Amino acid sequence: MLETVPFIIALAALVAALYWIILRSSSAKIEAQYARLARDLELELEIPAPKLAGFVRNEPAAYGIYRGREISFSVPGKGLQNTRQIETILKIELRDKSLRAQFAPAGIMGSLGHRDSGKKARWQSGDAAFDAAIDVRCDAGERLQALLSEESRNWLAQALKKHKAKLYIGAGVIAYTEIGLIGNDAIRERYEGTTEFLCDLAETVEA
Q: Which H or E element spans position 200?
A: helix 185-206
pLDDT tens for the 207 residues of the chain, in order: 556 766 666 656 666 556 555 656 677 788 899 999 999 999 999 887 666 655 566 788 999 999 999 999 999 865 444 444 688 999 999 999 889 999 999 886 555 555 555 567 888 888 999 999 999 998 888 899 999 999 999 999 999 999 989 999 998 999 999 988 998 999 999 999 999 999 999 999 998
Strand order in the sheet with 69-74: 44-46, 61-66, 69-74, 87-93, 173-179, 165-170, 101-105, 134-138, 122-123
How deeply is 148 buried, as exposed, middle or buried, from its count of CB atoms within 10 A (0-12, 13-18, 19+)? buried
Domain ranges in the chain are 4-206
Contact yes or no for 160/104 (Cβ under 8 A)? yes
Query: What is the C-alpha separation between 165 and 104, in angstroms, rounded?
Result: 6
Rounded to two decimals, the pTM is: 0.81
DSSP 44-75: EEE-PPPBGGGTB-PPPEEEEEETTEEEEEE-
Query: What is the C-alpha separation between 179 and 140, in angstroms, rounded?
Result: 28
Four-residue CA torsion sign, 163, 81, 123, 176? negative
CB-CB neighbours of 59 under 10 Å? 20
